[in-house]
Amino acid sequence: MSKWYPKNGRVIFHVDMNSFYASVEMAFDPSLKGKPLAIAGNPEERRGIVVTSSYEARKYGVKTTMPVGEARRLCKDLIVMSPTFERYRAASKEMFKILTEVTDMIQPVSIDEGYMDITACHEQGSPPEIADQIQSRIKDELDLPCSIGIAPNKFLAKMASDMKKPMGITILRKRDLPNKLWPLPIEDMYGVGEKTAGKLRKMKVETIGDLANHHVIELKNVLGINGERLQNRANGIDNRPVDPEAVHEFKSIGTSTTLPHDTTDEVEVRQVLRRLAAKVEARMKKKSVLARNVQLMIRYHDRKTITRSRQLPDFVESSDELFQAAYHQFDEHWNQQPIRLLGITAQDLVEQAEVTQQLDLFSYQKHAGKEKLYHVIDTLTEKYGHNPFQKLKSPSDARMTTSFQKDFLDDFKNN
């Protein structure tokens, strides 16, 4: 058993439910099993978006984010259903309950995946035996398939769980990297998005192995500190612990401004909130995080201050989403008295790379409809050094805020 449980290392699982939404619907209605199934909003409309699909549907080329009309053209027998989120939440709760019977060292990542540290579980059997027991229980008790990656750290466990689906159990050790990990195309690496992959390919980094062996100085010049971090991951280096408390942490990024004069002008308030939302978005992008909660602060002319927060159904990242959440609260809670100060804070933050957002129709189509606009704005911002659609500030506006100082201290502490 000692060969499985190193004295100075860890044994990490990544448990990933397979085609979760579709699998839950099949467990609820067994007549759907073995049939091509897609979960999508507005299934009767061709412009609806596929949220997830069964493996039977995927054989025909049906993919997540694909319009329903296109999916039906690819698979004429495709069954399309609307999502039932309460059913998915209940299934997720039962799945994590099974995991907690093995260890309390669990870090949920999303509704259908999480990490486990089983380093102290040697009395329960070898890691493959424990993984098989977990997989079997989830299948037998919930009628749901899952894949499990076994590795010495979180990154490799995540990569391993993706290597065999559905119902796979994959072991990925550091000595396996040259044969199992490095031949994969760079786009298959967790944490490498489309834009980063494009930059890497320009450096002739085509595979994960190319990244592992590339000149780190060039990687840092092009990608900043993330270049070195990605190379470490490609070489199997990831020291992040499985943190059971991470799901309960309430990190925040916020900013506020004192108005030049007390105001009751709603047009002015909207303009101020949009500027604040843009600031918060910029700092969220810098830290590569998403928010699940938005807080509004209002300070009145008599210095009375109120804060109101709103938990959102999905993670958000754009200034428009932040503004809408904040203004909704303003519209609901403003007492019509003159306002001296306004503030917006994004809360319940998670790292973007750690989130596999479960898309419902409304949130996805909202993002998809604006994707081209966001791309144009990002392109012009990168070209000109600022967002040309936002009014440039005068030097008197370039004041250091307390939130800026807090970010600096946070970064300093992490160095």
Binding-site residues for Mg(2+), please?
16, 112
Phi then psi dihedrals of residue 151, to 5 deg: -160, 170
Rounded to an integer, what distance in angstroms lies between the CA atom of residue 340 and that of residue 378?
32
Rounded to an integer, what distance in angstroms lies between the CA atom of residue 342 and that of residue 363?
27
Phi then psi dihedrals of residue 11, to 5 deg: -120, 115
CB 40 within 8 A of CB 49: yes
Residue 336: left if φ>0, alpha if ψ -120 to 50, beta else—which one?
Answer: left
Residues 6+ apart with CB under 8 A from 259: 268, 272, 339, 340, 341, 342
Residues 6+ apart with CB under 8 A from 413: none
Query: Between β-strands 113-117 and 50-53, what pairing exists: parallel, antiparallel or unpaired?
Result: unpaired
- Please enumerate, as own/partner, the contacts of 159-167 that have beta carbons within 8 Å and a separation of 24 or more: 159/189, 159/190, 160/14, 161/14, 161/15, 161/16, 161/113, 162/16, 162/188, 162/190, 165/16, 165/18, 165/55, 166/18, 166/19, 166/55, 167/18, 167/135, 167/139
Report in angstroms the alpha-carbon separations of 284 from 35, 264, 410: 41, 30, 14
355 three-class SS:
coil
- Name the nearest CA neighbour of 82 among 47, 112, 58, 49: 49
Query: Between β-strands 50-53 and 339-351, what pairing exists: parallel, antiparallel or unpaired?
Result: unpaired
The one catalytic residue in 25, 45, 56, 113 is 113
Q: What is the DSSP annotation of 246-298?
A: GGG---EEEEEEEEEEEE--HHHHHHHHHHHHHHHHHHHHHHTEEEEEEEEEE
Helix (H) or strand (E) holding 138: helix 127-142
Structure tokens at 407: 């970010």
Rounded to an integer, what distance in angstroms lies between the CA atom of residue 369 and that of residue 251?
29
Instruction: Clarify whether 113 is annotated catalytic.
Output: yes
What residues are labeled active site? 113
